[in-house]
Amino acid sequence: MNEEARIKRLLLDTMAVSALRQVLDVAREAGGIAVPVKGVVLSRWLYAAVVERPYRDLDVLVGRDALVPLTNAVRERGWRMRHLSVEMGELEFEVDGFVVEVHAEFGRRDLSRLSTAEVIARAVPDRETFPFEILRVDDIDHFFLLVANVTKKAYIYANRHQPEDLERFLLRLAPRWEELAERARRASFLTATRNVAAWMASEHGSATFTRFLRSLPAHPRRLLPAVVKLHRRLADRRGKRLETVSGLLGLALATLTADDWLLRGRGLARLVRRGLYRRLGRDPG
């Protein structure tokens, strides 16, 4: 990495930390809790230096009941709003020109039984990562969040740093693999975990995920992983430029990943409804 690129990454990180402090304060004033995840913390927890793990926005989790109060507080601050979907639990705005993404759903609605409230409840105070206190998400929950991100993007739009994040996280979690598998089962998230493990093992040559995959309990759902793999290969042949139908297929496959049939049914119904709204030229919200 040249010096110019290094300075640019350090500058972006400084902006992110400043934005994080302000967002935490605003969330607290609004009566809620915001918890940082992904780039701003993983660059510190998984890598030797923050410049090794690039990121361009700030991701935070909030509870479902905190989304609307936080949205109102953002408006009062005069921060530029970029996107809001109360139904999907998504809020995006800018703090001093830096993009902040707020997630009130774990990964995406109906992917698992996990809720942001449950994840936040397991987080612990951390006074070492930054000059101010944050809540640190449990490593297994954070790993599941990365799995959810790759799954919802049908493995095709996954950011280039996500495989390395997953690899480093799984190595750290080695003593907890049995617990990880059990929590994935309870969260209706075992198929997603297996699919991502297979993706890492076969397409990224990860020996760690190969061992992890062998340690996971046998699972009866074999058709979905095969279809996901086929969809991914077809997308690769087209240079990852998906047509609308194929993109919708990726969303549908992600929705079908949950092991709970109620989650799958609800997710598909929501996907169809939102698609119809867009066809009618209406904002699904």
Say whether both 119 and 8 belong to one domain: yes
* Residue showing tokens 């929705």: 255
Say whether both 148 and 250 belong to one domain: yes
Say whether both 25 and 145 belong to one domain: no
Distance CA 215, CA 194 (A): 10
Show Cβ contacts of residue 160 under 8 Å, excluding neighbours closer than 6 positions.
none
Say whether both 180 and 70 belong to one domain: no
3-state secondary structure the chain: CCHHHHHHHHHHHHHHHHHHHHHHHHHHHCCCCEEEECHHHHHHHCCCCHHHCCCCEEEEEECHHHHHHHHHHHHHHCCCEEEEECCCCEEEEEECCEEEEEECCCCCCCCCCCCHHHHHHHCEEECCCCCCCEEECCHHHHHHHHHHHHHHCCCCCCCCCHHHHHHHHHHHCHHHHHHHHHHHHHCCCHHHHHHHHHHHHHHCCCHHHHHHHHHCCCCCCCHHHHHHHHHHHHHHHCCCCCCHHHHHHHHHHHHCCCCCHHHHHHHHHHHHHHHHHHHCCCCCC
User: What single-letter amino acid sits at 76?
Assistant: E
Q: Looking at 114, 137, 160, which one is the last position of a domain?
A: 137
Say whether both 157 and 233 belong to one domain: yes
Say whether both 190 and 214 belong to one domain: yes
Q: Which two tokens stand for residue 103?
A: 């997630």
Say whether both 57 and 160 belong to one domain: no
Say whether both 153 and 164 belong to one domain: yes
Say whether both 163 and 269 belong to one domain: yes
Task: Tell me what pLDDT residue 241 has.
Answer: 47
Distance CA 190, CA 147 (A): 10
Task: Tell me what pLDDT residue 253 has.
Answer: 79
Distance CA 114, CA 148 (A): 11
Say whether both 130 and 170 belong to one domain: no
pTM, full prediction:
0.89
The pLDDT profile of the chain, 285 residues, written as one tens digit per residue, is: 788 888 899 999 999 999 999 999 999 999 999 999 999 999 999 999 999 999 999 999 999 999 999 999 999 999 999 999 998 899 999 999 999 999 999 887 788 999 999 999 999 999 999 999 999 999 999 999 999 988 887 655 556 789 999 999 999 999 999 999 999 999 999 999 998 998 899 888 999 999 999 999 876 676 677 777 776 676 666 555 444 445 667 777 788 888 888 888 888 888 888 877 777 777 776
Q: Which domain holds residue 204?
A: 139-275
Say whether both 202 and 169 belong to one domain: yes
Confirm whether 281 is domain-assigned: no
* Number of domains observed in the structure of the chain: 2
Query: Which one, of 136, 119, 140, 120, lies nearest residue 128 by Cα?
Result: 136
- In the chain, what's the furthest Cα-to-Cα distance? 52
Say whether both 3 and 115 belong to one domain: yes
Distance CA 22, CA 263 (A): 35
User: What single-letter amino acid sits at 164?
Assistant: E
Confirm whether 283 is domain-assigned: no
How many C-alpha atoms does 186 have within 13 Å on its Cβ side? 11
Task: Tell me what pLDDT residue 2 has.
Answer: 85
Q: What is the CATH number of the domain that holds 87?
A: 3.30.460
Task: Tell me what pLDDT residue 156 has.
Answer: 53
Task: Tell me what pLDDT residue 227 has.
Answer: 73
Confirm whether 20 is domain-assigned: yes
Q: Looking at 118, 137, 156, which one is the last position of a domain?
A: 137
Task: Tell me what pLDDT residue 243 has.
Answer: 42
Task: Report the DSSP pairing between strands 98-103 and 124-126.
Answer: unpaired
Q: Looking at 137, 165, 194, which one is the last position of a domain?
A: 137
Task: Tell me what pLDDT residue 155 has.
Answer: 59
